Amino acid sequence: QVQLVQSGAEVKNPGASVKVSCSTSGYTFTSYVMHWVRQAPGQRLEWMGWINAGNGNTKYAQKFQGRVTIIRDTSASTAYMELSSLRSEDTAVFYCARDSCSGGVCYTGAFDIWGQGTMVTVSS
């Protein structure tokens, strides 16, 4: 079955960077776009950006532009999200989520498969 399995929880100091992985299985990795979503404790979902796993093209939310980098390793069918210059407000669960459309972004906000989430705690 289709699965997204994320890396484990992280604790980081303010100013550091974190890199979260999203390992996929059960489908053709390069046929879909992968999104990343942040959810601070008790807060709403917040879209961070996407990567087209086929051609590597990315798009980032303006709020995270300059701090977030999303890449993929097609040989490992894995996507990665790196967030730099961490601050306490970045303490959150980060999710990878597959776009529901194959072949590109559907611009619908429909994400059909989600990873289990990775808790990132930023604290000195």
Residues found near another protein in the complex (CB under 8 A): 35, 37, 44-47, 59, 61-62, 95, 97, 100, 106-112, 114-117
Task: Report the residue number, 86 or 97, with the smaller CB distance to another protein.
Answer: 97
Task: Report the residue number, 16 or 40, with the smaller CB distance to another protein.
Answer: 40
In contact, 96 and 4? CB cutoff 8 Å: yes
How many CB atoms sit inside 10 A of residue 32's CB? 25
Least Å distance, CB 5 to another protein, is: 12
Least Å distance, CB 4 to another protein, is: 9
Task: Report the residue number, 20 or 97, with the smaller CB distance to another protein.
Answer: 97
Least Å distance, CB 37 to another protein, is: 8
Q: If you count them, how many residues does the chain have? A: 124
Least Å distance, CB 15 to another protein, is: 26
Please state, in angstroms and as integers, the Cα–Cα distance from residue 63 to each residue in 29, 59, 60, 75, following that order: 27, 12, 8, 30
Which of 3, 4, 7 lies closest to 82, judged by CA? 7
Task: Report the residue number, 73 or 112, with the smaller CB distance to another protein.
Answer: 112
Q: Which residues contact 107 (CB under 8 A, 6 or more apart)?
A: none
